[in-house]
Amino acid sequence: MDFNNTEIAFSGKSNTDLKRSYWLFKIIGWNWLIKIGPLLLKIFMPLWIPIPIIKATVFKQFCGGESIDECENTIKELSSHNVKTILDYSVEGKEEETVFDSNVREAIAVIKKAKSNTNIPFSVFKPSGFGRFELLQKVNTKHLLTQNEEAEFERVKNRIDKMCAASFDASIPIFIDAEETWIQNPVDEIALEMMRKYNKEKTIVFNTAQMYRIDRITYLNELKTIAENEGFFIGMKLVRGAYIEQERDRAKKMSYDDPMHKTQEDTDKDFNLAVKFCIENIEKISLCCASHNEKSNLLLIDLMKKHSIDISDNRIYFAQLLGMSDHISNNMGKKGYNVAKYVPYGPVKDVTPYLIRRAEENTSMAGQTGRELSLILAEQQRRKSI
């Protein structure tokens, strides 16, 4: 597998696209701008001034469109590289019951779309899109809920059950994204319930394990024991984790032990151990390796070979985010591996908080933007030389 083949990586990109991507990644690398960006947007967003600028730049790079229909071109473009699409409705931070209910309708629309389009193998949701963050946080602490909160939490569980049931009926597996540790316990518990209910015959529901957490290998082992005892399949999306700064800040502020690994090496070690664990238990576990890390992707490729697993075995998927690491997605797609991109979508104004979060995450990802920049430069050089 040669991830350095920039001709394949950028084959769908015009010279103008490459220039735009270059400048975007350059700007994302400017920490000062990313730090003051949210404030600038807060000031100017009500005037709608930034919308056209965002739409033509970051939105174009990292999002598929404002609606499911608008993502059609992106789905086609990705499929021309044998890369599938995971439509990700990325509206964050709206905490109203009506919004939570309309998020369910949107998720079910995605499942329907996936049923009619073989280029969409999964659907996905972020639990905090279906219930108040503070409520999940309270459930996490195991504090007694009031009667109203009990009823509210029931509604959250019902919404999630409705989406998993729709996934089950459509036979389209669904990913449950992982979020901050201080809301993750109820999410893990709901995910377990959903696996018990819908993964009896095959894997429909996938939870996500953030391997920057020190306790996730134990979590995987415990889940495997439960699944073996009760007879259901496990779906697991493995990620390193996107909230490291918030996690460390909170642990420091509230004086509890940091639940994160101390170093990237430790996170890498556990991520790779988790990949091995899933492959060694592939009869029971379906795996999505959601990573831009070349070494982890190569490790999984090697393990598949070692265990004589066909490259198109649908228990194993690789996934990256739209607009990033095309050198991994496109080169793997070309070779015939199951590979997909998360394609965020939603109205520009509502998706902007997600885009800011991603940009902030990029600044903390050592080498990620640098890697993107050097690949774009290599491709520009290659095009000039022919």
Ligand X SMILES: Cc1cc2nc3c(=O)[nH]c(=O)nc-3n(C[C@H](O)[C@H](O)[C@H](O)COP(=O)(O)OP(=O)(O)OC[C@H]3O[C@@H](n4cnc5c(N)ncnc54)[C@H](O)[C@@H]3O)c2cc1C
Shortest distance, position 352 Cβ to ligand X, whole Å: 18
Strands (E), 102-212: 123-125, 174-176, 205-210
Which among 14-22, 43-51, 225-233, 258-266 is the span making contact with ligand X, rule CB under 6 A? 258-266
Q: What are phi and psi of 230, to 5 degrees?
A: -100, -10
Binding mask 194-233 for ligand X (x = CB under 6 A): --------------x-x-x---------------------
Half-sphere exposure of 18 (CA within 13 A, CB side): 21
Q: Which DSSP category does 178 fall into?
A: -
361: its two tokens: 């995450």
- Is 45 or 356 the residue whose CB approaches ligand X more closely? 356
Binding mask 106-125 for ligand X (x = CB under 6 A): --------------------
Binder of ligand X out of 263, 308, 312, 385 (CB under 6 A): 263
Which among 21-29, 154-162, 263-271, 329-337 is the span making contact with ligand X, rule CB under 6 A? 263-271
125: its two tokens: 């949701």
Shortest distance, position 279 Cβ to ligand X, whole Å: 17
Q: Which amino acid makes up residue 370?
A: G
- Is 84 or 292 the residue whose CB approaches ligand X more closely? 292
Footprint of ligand X on residues 74-93 (CB under 6 A)? none
Number of residues that bind ligand X (CB under 6 A): 26
Footprint of ligand X on residues 359-378 (CB under 6 A)? 365, 368
- Is 123 or 320 the residue whose CB approaches ligand X more closely? 320
The Cα–Cα gap between 341 and 82 comes to: 11
Q: Look at residues 271, 201, 208 and name the one whose alpha carbon lies nearest to residue 233.
A: 201
Binder of ligand X out of 78, 260, 274, 359 (CB under 6 A): 260
Shortest distance, position 354 Cβ to ligand X, whole Å: 12
Footprint of ligand X on residues 314-353 (CB under 6 A)? 319-321, 342
The Cα–Cα gap between 209 and 277 comes to: 13
If residue 152 lies in a helix (H) or strand (E), which one and from where to where? helix 147-170
- Is 50 or 88 the residue whose CB approaches ligand X more closely? 88
Q: Look at residues 280, 180, 171 and name the one whose alpha carbon lies nearest to residue 221.
A: 280
The Cα–Cα gap between 345 and 281 comes to: 34
Shortest distance, position 168 Cβ to ligand X, whole Å: 21
Shortest distance, position 336 Cβ to ligand X, whole Å: 19
Binder of ligand X out of 213, 261, 315, 327 (CB under 6 A): 261
Instruction: Assess 290 for contact with ligand X (CB under 6 A).
Output: yes
Shortest distance, position 217 Cβ to ligand X, whole Å: 14
In this structure, is the dihedral angle defined by the CA atoms of residues 203, 207, 209 and 215, taken in order, positive or negative? negative
Which among 91-99, 134-142, 164-172, 257-265 is the span making contact with ligand X, rule CB under 6 A? 257-265
Q: Look at residues 264, 256, 306 and name the one whose alpha carbon lies nearest to residue 282.
A: 306
Q: Look at residue 188 and give its three-state secondary structure.
A: helix
130 neighbors 103 (Cβ within 8 angstroms): yes
The Cα–Cα gap between 232 and 369 comes to: 40
* Footprint on this chain of ligand X (rule: CB under 6 A): 177-178, 208, 210, 212, 239-244, 260-261, 263-264, 267, 290-293, 319-321, 342, 365, 368
